[in-house]
């Protein structure tokens, strides 16, 4: 009797090449594919840009029948469906952005067995009519994209996702693939418990994105800092994250007035305007989108060259997910985060105001503590980030603390002075007032409280205001001081701080100095450095052709071909259909649909 199992495993390579145009799997993909082909449930945690979607798309085509993909956002569905359709795959989506007539027509094709992958939102999938209808069809695989949404411990918990825990009961013998880029150990265990009752193979490929340069700056003049960073990336696509809708609008207007093509994106905008801004960002180069976290999962744009956070994210998971939008093409990208005590206090307030239990709030405060520790890290920032996700690494050489090592100083005396000022002023004042007392600044507020008569008034006059603010931030990060999150940011002394006041222990801090900034490098320029001038000129014309073809099909440019594919064309200059088929990312459908125009452009170049 023939071994059909071996045929299934051999078919994956044929699908990979013929449909997707790839010679081999990326690191981490093949074990996930094999586990799903073997019938196992799988939880895969892979960094953004590692090719998670291919891990369930290849098994879907090998197994035949119907694969149902659960996706949280319409934009994410549409991008994946468009990319699959251009690759010749019968993929469809049923969602609220389409007319009822279109959705009905799609369902008829699904019911007739003409669709291989069907993308649905969890709310639509988990209705009884939809589940009943799908039970009558040959469903071979279920895939849950952005699976961290199912976990209350994850950064994007969506209650409607939790209902997906019923899938294992409805589709008893169907393997389920849960995919995410963002899950610490607690989140992974929560996902596995809900989706698979713990019965799943878990693959954690790694969290490192070495092409992304990490940087954190204390917030001094946020607009000036943003302007400097964005100007260093002139003509490149980027994302600026803001905490509120109002700040999103204000920041986009500020950048636009400064000559930057910047557009806002947040949940409070008119739906059509929001969609238009997103489409412009995805399809037109050099656009900067200024967004709230509502923008997070909906974008699969590979050439985002920078991400800038004007405000503190909620956790290291959220931060990792948001910076993961940068450099998905593997080329150099920069990220920068601004932070300060006000942002920390606001985040603490958000956590305490959530309608959740005490256990959840304690976890969220710990997560925020980890983010603050990352911001104040005196050594390799990437090492601190990866350690949070359970990975060890050597110093990366591609973060601000590696490229410009910080000057650690013995700050035991300064810490005792600050703690004394907090104690003597009654443990109820914020950082600004404490700094005034330490520096001997006789403001009306200081005089009215009689704090100009305290022994600590002026003891720190040898340090500047910004240095004292940094010391206070680091005392908070080190757990020696606590922020009053219920009130107005008052500082109180934690037990370890009292120990230090008594002379027990020591405190070292990173000196905050204004360092000369590196000249802004162009990541786009770096990406084409290996091309000759003739090849670079051809690449420009190929990109123009790609843009034209994408606009004709109303899809993002990268869905037609990635930059890597175009660079491969520019270097190798294929002249025949057979040579074009050997280009990276050229499958059978793309060879059929795109070989002629690109071969003509290459011949003319």
The predicted structure's pLDDT at residue 2: 41
Q: Are strands 288-291 and 238-241 parallel, antiparallel or unpaired?
A: parallel
Do 262 and 281 form a contact (C-beta atoms < 8 A)? no
Tokens 């290291």 belong to: 316
Please count the CA atoms within 13 angstroms of the CA of 291 that sit on its side-chain side.
23
Rg (CA), the chain: 27
SS3 380: coil
Tokens 């905490």 belong to: 243
Q: What DSSP letter does each residue of 320-347 carry, written as one string?
A: HHHHTTS-TTSS-EEEEEEE-HHHHHHH
Q: What is the pLDDT of residues 319-363, one digit of tens each?
A: 998 998 899 888 999 999 998 878 888 888 888 888 888 887 877
- Give the number of other CB atoms < 10 A from CB of residue 101: 8
* SS3 letters across 14-54: HHHHHCCCCCCCCCCHHHHHHHHHCCCCEEEECCCCCCHHH
- Give the number of other CB atoms < 10 A from CB of residue 193: 15
Q: What is the pLDDT of residues 60-94, one digit of tens each?
A: 999 999 999 999 877 778 888 999 999 999 999 99
The predicted structure's pLDDT at residue 329: 86
Do 402 and 396 form a contact (C-beta atoms < 8 A)? yes
Domains of the chain: 4-204 (3.40.50.300), 212-403 (3.40.50.300), 408-510 (1.10.10.10), 525-604 (1.10.150.80)
The predicted structure's pLDDT at residue 602: 95
The predicted structure's pLDDT at residue 520: 41
What DSSP character marks residue 64?
A: -
The predicted structure's pLDDT at residue 175: 96
Do 296 and 228 form a contact (C-beta atoms < 8 A)? no
The predicted structure's pLDDT at residue 4: 47
What DSSP character marks residue 458?
A: T
CA distance 126 to 122: 6
- Cα separation values, 193 from 43, 90, 175, 382, Å: 11, 32, 15, 30
The predicted structure's pLDDT at residue 438: 97
CA distance 377 to 471: 13
* SS3 letters across 235-269: CCCEEEECCCHHHHHHHHHHHHHCCCCEEEECCCC
- Low-confidence residues in the chain, pLDDT < 50: 1-4, 513-529
Buried b (16+ CB within 10 A) or exposed e, 405-418: ebeeeebeebbbbb
Do 54 and 13 form a contact (C-beta atoms < 8 A)? no
């Amino acid at each position: 009797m023939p071994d059909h199992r071996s045929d299934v495993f051999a078919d994956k390579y044929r699908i990979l090449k013929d449909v997707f145009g790839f010679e081999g799997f990326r690191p981490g993909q093949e074990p996930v594919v094999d586990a799903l082909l073997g019938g196992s449930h799988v939880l895969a945690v892979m960094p953004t840009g590692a090719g998670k979607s291919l891990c369930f798309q290849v098994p879907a085509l090998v197994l035949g029948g119907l694969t149902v993909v659960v996706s949280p956002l319409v934009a994410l569905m549409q991008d994946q469906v468009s990319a699959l359709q251009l690759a010749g795959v019968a993929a469809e989506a049923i969602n609220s952005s389409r007319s009822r007539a279109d959705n009905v027509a799609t369902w008829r094709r699904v019911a007739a067995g003409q669709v291989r992958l069907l993308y649905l939102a969890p709310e639509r999938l988990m209705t009884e009519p939809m589940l009943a209808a799908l039970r009558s069809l040959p469903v071979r695989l279920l895939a849950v994209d952005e699976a961290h949404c199912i976990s209350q411990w994850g950064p994007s918990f969506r209650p409607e996702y939790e209902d997906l825990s019923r899938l294992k009961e409805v589709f008893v013998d169907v393997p389920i693939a849960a995919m995410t880029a963002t899950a610490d150990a607690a989140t992974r265990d929560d996902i596995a418990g809900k989706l698979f009752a713990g019965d799943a193979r878990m693959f954690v490929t790694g969290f490192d994105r070495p092409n992304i340069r990490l940087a954190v700056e204390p917030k001094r003049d946020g607009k000036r800092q943003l302007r400097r960073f964005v100007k260093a990336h002139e003509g490149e696509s980027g994302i600026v994250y803001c905490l509120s809708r109002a700040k999103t609008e204000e920041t986009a207007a500020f950048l636009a007035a400064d000559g930057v093509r910047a557009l806002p994106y947040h949940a409070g905008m008119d739906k059509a305007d929001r969609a238009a801004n997103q489409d412009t960002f995805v399809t037109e180069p050099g656009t900067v989108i200024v967004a709230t976290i509502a923008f997070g999962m909906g974008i699969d744009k590979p050439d985002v060259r920078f991400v800038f956070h004007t405000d503190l994210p909620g956790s290291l998971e959220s931060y990792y997910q948001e910076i993961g939008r940068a450099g998905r093409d593997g080329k150099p990208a920069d990220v920068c985060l601004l932070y300060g005590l006000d942002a920390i206090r606001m985040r603490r307030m958000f956590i305490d105001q959530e309608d959740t239990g005490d256990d959840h709030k304690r976890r969220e405060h710990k997560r925020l503590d980890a983010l603050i520790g990352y911001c104040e890290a005196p050594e390799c920032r990437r090492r601190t980030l990866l350690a949070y996700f359970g990975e060890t690494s050597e110093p990366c050489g591609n973060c601000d603390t590696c490229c410009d090592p910080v000057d650690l100083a013995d700050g035991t005396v300064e810490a005792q002075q600050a703690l004394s000022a907090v104690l003597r002023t009654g443990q109820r004042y914020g950082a600004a007032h404490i700094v005034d007392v330490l520096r001997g600044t006789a403001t009306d507020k200081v005089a009215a409280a009689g704090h100009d008569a305290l022994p600590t008034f002026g003891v720190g006059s040898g340090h500047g205001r910004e240095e004292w603010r940094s010391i206070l931030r680091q005392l908070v990060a080190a757990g020696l001081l606590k922020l009053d999150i219920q009130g107005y940011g008052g500082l109180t002394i934690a037990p370890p701080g009292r120990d230090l006041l008594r002379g027990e222990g020591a405190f070292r801090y990173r000196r905050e100095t204004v360092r000369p900034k590196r000249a802004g490098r162009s990541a786009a320029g770096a990406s084409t450095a290996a091309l000759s001038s003739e090849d670079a000129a051809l690449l420009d014309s190929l990109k123009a052709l790609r843009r034209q073809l994408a606009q004709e099909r109303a899809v993002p440019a990268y869905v037609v071909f990635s930059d890597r594919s175009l660079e491969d064309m520019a270097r190798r200059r294929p002249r025949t259909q057979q040579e074009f088929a050997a280009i990276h990312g050229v499958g059978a459908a793309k060879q059929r649909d795109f070989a002629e125009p690109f071969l003509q452009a290459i011949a003319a170049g």
